[in-house]
Amino acid sequence: MVKLDYRINNNIKASKVRVIDPDGINQGILDIALAINLAKEYDLDLVEISPESNPPVCRITSLSKLKYQAQVKEKDIKKKSSKIEVKDIKIRPVIEEHDYQTKINWAKKFIKNGNNIRVTILIKGREASHPILAEKLIDRIALDLKDIAMIKGNRTKFGKDIIFLLEPIK
C-alpha cells in the first residue's frame, strides 16, 4: 500500500535534510529552516519523502498533489492485479444436446474472461448405478474445451456428485 501520511514543513524532526526541488534537482543537504524557507519561496510544502534515510530526503512539492499521485498509483496497481474467479457449472449425466451446448457456451465465455470453472456432475437416484455416463460426459467436456481449457487436478467425488476444475490454457 502506498504511504499517504507524510510529515511536512515544521513537523519534520531532523535538523538537516537532503532537499529535492520541484524540478527534481538535488539541492544537497540543507538545514531544516533553510529548506522550509526555500519551499516557501516556491510557494509549496517541504514534504519528508524518505524519513528512514540519513539524512532524511525531503521534496519541495504540493502535498495534495503528492497524495493524489499516490492514490492514482494505487488504483493502477489494483487494476493490473488479476483476480481469478471460479465459476460453477452444474450438469446432469442425462443432459439433452441443446442444454449441453448451452452449458459449453457458458463455459467458453467464462474461460475467455480468464476464469476457472468448477464443473459439478450431479448424480441422482439410479444414475449412480451407471457411472460410465458421468465418465463419458467428463471426457466429452474435456474434448469440447481442449483448445481453450484443460482439467486441473483430479476429479473429486462429493457424495454421489463428481467435481473437477477447468483452467484456461495460457
* pLDDT one-digit tens code per residue, 11-56: 888 888 888 888 888 888 888 888 888 888 888 888 888 888 888 8
Give the model's pLDDT for residue 3. Answer: 54
Which structural domain range is residue 55 located in? 9-80
* Same domain, residue pair 29 and 47: yes
Q: Does residue 100 fall inside a structural domain?
A: yes
> Which residue stretches of the chain are H helix?
32-41, 63-80, 97-112, 131-144
> Which residue stretches of 16-62 are H helix?
32-41
* Same domain, residue pair 36 and 75: yes
Low-confidence ranges of the chain (pLDDT < 50): 1
Q: What is the DSSP code (8-state) at residue 129? A: G
* Same domain, residue pair 67 and 90: no
**Count of domains for the chain:** 2
* Same domain, residue pair 164 and 92: yes
| 56 contacts 12 by C-beta, under 8 angstroms | yes
Final residue in a domain of this structure, among 45, 80, 115 = 80
The strand order across the sheet containing 45-50 reads: 26-31, 16-20, 57-61, 45-50
Q: Does residue 2 fall inside a structural domain?
A: no
